[in-house]
Amino acid sequence: MQKILFNGSWTESENPASQFHAVNPSIQEEISERAFPESSWEEIERMVDAAFEASEALFELAPGAYADFLDCYADKIEAANEQLAAAAHEETGLPVAPRLAEVEIPRTINQLRQAAAAARSGDWARPTLDTETNIHSIHGPLGGAVVVFGPNNFPFAYNGIAGGDFASAIAAGNPVIAKAHPAHPYTTQLLAELAQEAATEKGMPNGTVQLFYGTTPENGLKLVAHPKVAAVGFTGSRPGGLALKEAADKAGTPIYLEMSSVNPVFVLPGALHERWSEIATELHGSCTLGAGQFCTKPGLVVMQEGKKANDLIEEMSESFSQTPAGILLTGGGLEAVSKAVEQLKDAGAELQVGGKVADTAHFGYEPTLLKISGDAFLENPAALQSEAFGPVCLVVLAKNFTQMKAIAFALEGNLTGSIYSDSHGGDEPSYAELAKTLRTKVGRLLNDKVPTGVAVSPSMNHGGPYPATGHPGFTAVGFPASVIRFSALHSYDNVREHRLPLALRKKNPSGSLNRLVNGKWTTADA
């Protein structure tokens, strides 16, 4: 049985409720050599206690210490790229190159380093000084554990022990308890080994990083409601996210969720006329990339009916039918995609191509295109915008622009929304109308571009209105913005100068820290 990472040590799980094996999705077979424990409540609670102690010790450290740890961890991942990519490939079927070794692992390293830079600069914490009232404030650690549940589709970049939630929680000075995703527990274990090595080398308190592999759903709900758990990060399915949200909300614990999104793409008439074929190619690429298993995969394309729309659908159908079914991450995922397609059909969507489990050695579903009229969509918008997490796309043919707007209005909150318009300004009035509605429905509004590809930029919003996430004000990707999620606002009123955090003392600690001093942003001393 694989060991859990508890309070600084790799430890045998005590009385695990059960055990599980990862599955190699490329051959649909269990990886029998390693069994992973499902931890008991007692074991999880011991981790929470250890994390709480770590949180007190972390608060005593300077933010540079968090940064040193993150950088050291990033270096170790970089050095272990080959082994990590091999493990993740076995557990996820994602190609070693370019995806894992050349894209996702470098992205993960980059995120950890950006988080380190954010921690080191301290700008993210918005230090605010008011010398007249002698009240100062800064965002600081929460005091307690941050629990991170990573998703199945990014074994590195969103991993609970290495991804954006992890990096931003640590950058803010919090300990992390990660739950491995059952689709890639060994990859996660390898990451946690590197994380613990880095923590030890950099003198981080025991319990700064901890890992368990699984537990019962009931224990998951108890965990997020535990008084020593200060915040939660979750990326995954809507039902799982909503259950955790309910438990966390009831306990008053901030929870940051990324749950589901169909990432609507609107193609305005001028764009359709001008470049329907190019757009078809882009959409096909975006829908089938990574077997459609991206949170930002466009699952809904809306355009006005007519000849060009039919041409676009025909071209998409052609390219979908010629695309081999990629590897889906899990058997459960395959079932969920099948079920989602059936639901779309039951709600009136008409199958153009695909619609079947693929006849492959791996978990696979045929790239699937469906279509429906705008009238029919508007009769049942809830069912017709449920996410199918795979290579599935529904085209909605609106009868006119007014109906396109009505469709936009009927959308739930999404991570992204795209509008394609022509290059000559003919679509401009429609763009303005449509963007007004779509803006309030999405976190990231795109022009003339598919939504897959989430740049790690300070200006990224990987977030959006409910139910895409749990709060429209935060992003899960990008620094420094994502760090603030895992912080509390700490005001210091009349606190003696030598007791203040360095960032709030008169002297600017680095000479370059951006602070709001008496109402003006400045790097000067106060």
Helix (H/G/I), strand (E/B), else coil: 381? helix
Between the alpha carbon of residue 349 and those of residues 373, 383, 395, the distances in Å are 8, 10, 9
What's the chain's length in residues?
A: 526
Determine, following the binding rule CB under 8 A, whether residue 401 of this chain makes contact with a second copy: no
Determine, following the binding rule CB under 8 A, whether residue 472 of this chain makes contact with a second copy: yes
Determine, following the binding rule CB under 8 A, whether residue 499 of this chain makes contact with a second copy: yes
Residues numbered 41-80 forming contacts with a second copy, rule: CB under 8 A: 55-56, 59-60
Q: Tell the smallest beta-carbon distance from residue 525 to a second copy (Å).
A: 16
Residue 442 CA to its chain's centroid (Å): 15
Kindly indicate which of the ranges 232-240, 316-324, 353-361, 441-449 contains the residues binding a second copy, using the contact rule CB under 8 A.
Answer: 441-449
Q: Which is nearer to a second copy, 357 or 435 (CB)?
A: 435
Determine, following the binding rule CB under 8 A, whether residue 158 of this chain makes contact with a second copy: no
DSSP class per residue in 147-169: EEE--SS-TTTT-TTTSHHHHHH
Element containing residue 448 per DSSP (H, E): none
Q: Out of 146, 431, 452, 503, which residue is the one contacting a second copy (CB under 8 A)?
A: 431
Residues numbered 329-388 forming contacts with a second copy, rule: CB under 8 A: none
DSSP class per residue in 406-447: HHHHT---EEEEEEE--TTSTTHHHHHHHHHHHHTTEEEEEE
Helix (H/G/I), strand (E/B), else coil: 441? coil
Determine, following the binding rule CB under 8 A, whether residue 447 of this chain makes contact with a second copy: yes
Q: Out of 66, 156, 158, 474, which residue is the one contacting a second copy (CB under 8 A)?
A: 474
The Cα 156–Cα 153 span in angstroms is: 9
Q: Which is nearer to a second copy, 15 or 459 (CB)?
A: 459
Kindly indicate which of the ranges 62-70, 160-168, 187-195, 434-442 contains the residues binding a second copy, using the contact rule CB under 8 A.
Answer: 434-442
For 388, which DSSP code?
A: -
The reply to whether 72 belongs to the active site is no
CB 476 within 8 A of CB 469: yes
The reply to whether 246 belongs to the active site is no
**Residue in this structure with the two tokens 């409601």, named with its chain if needed:** 225
Among the listed residues 72, 287, 295, 393, the single catalytic one is 295
CB 342 within 8 A of CB 366: no
Q: Out of 314, 491, 507, 525, which residue is the one contacting a second copy (CB under 8 A)?
A: 491
The Cα 340–Cα 384 span in angstroms is: 10
Q: Which is nearer to a second copy, 391 or 443 (CB)?
A: 443
Residues numbered 165-194 forming contacts with a second copy, rule: CB under 8 A: none
Q: Which is nearer to a second copy, 98 or 519 (CB)?
A: 519
Residues numbered 501-520 forming contacts with a second copy, rule: CB under 8 A: 514, 516, 519
Residue 244-273 contact track with a second copy, rule CB under 8 A, x = bound: -xx--xxxxxx-------------------
The Cα 84–Cα 225 span in angstroms is: 33
The pair of structure tokens assigned to 137 is 């404030």
Determine, following the binding rule CB under 8 A, whether residue 321 of this chain makes contact with a second copy: no
Q: Tell the smallest beta-carbon distance from residue 359 to a second copy (Å).
A: 38
Q: Out of 402, 466, 507, 525, which residue is the one contacting a second copy (CB under 8 A)?
A: 466
The pair of structure tokens assigned to 411 is 């959308």
Mode of pairing for the β-strands spanning 176-179 and 520-522? unpaired
Q: Tell the smallest beta-carbon distance from residue 464 to a second copy (Å).
A: 8
Determine, following the binding rule CB under 8 A, whether residue 493 of this chain makes contact with a second copy: yes
Determine, following the binding rule CB under 8 A, whether residue 481 of this chain makes contact with a second copy: yes
Nearest to 146 by CA among 116, 170, 120, 117: 170
Cis bond upstream, residue 37 (ω within 30): no
Residues numbered 406-425 forming contacts with a second copy, rule: CB under 8 A: 413, 416
Residue 95-124 contact track with a second copy, rule CB under 8 A, x = bound: ----------------------------x-
Between the alpha carbon of residue 166 and those of residues 66, 79, 235, 487, the distances in Å are 12, 20, 12, 13
Among the listed residues 38, 90, 258, 412, the single catalytic one is 258
Q: Which is nearer to a second copy, 292 or 478 (CB)?
A: 478
The Cα 116–Cα 74 span in angstroms is: 10
Q: Tell the smallest beta-carbon distance from residue 375 to a second copy (Å).
A: 22
Q: Out of 1, 97, 361, 489, which residue is the one contacting a second copy (CB under 8 A)?
A: 489
The Cα 394–Cα 316 span in angstroms is: 11
Q: Which is nearer to a second copy, 310 or 466 (CB)?
A: 466
CB neighbour list of residue 481: distance below 8 Å, 6 or more residues apart? 124, 458, 460, 474, 475
Q: Which is nearer to a second copy, 349 or 456 (CB)?
A: 456
For 357, which DSSP code?
A: B
Determine, following the binding rule CB under 8 A, whether residue 446 of this chain makes contact with a second copy: yes
Between the alpha carbon of residue 205 and those of residues 227, 407, 486, the distances in Å are 21, 52, 19
The residues carrying an active-site annotation are 258, 295
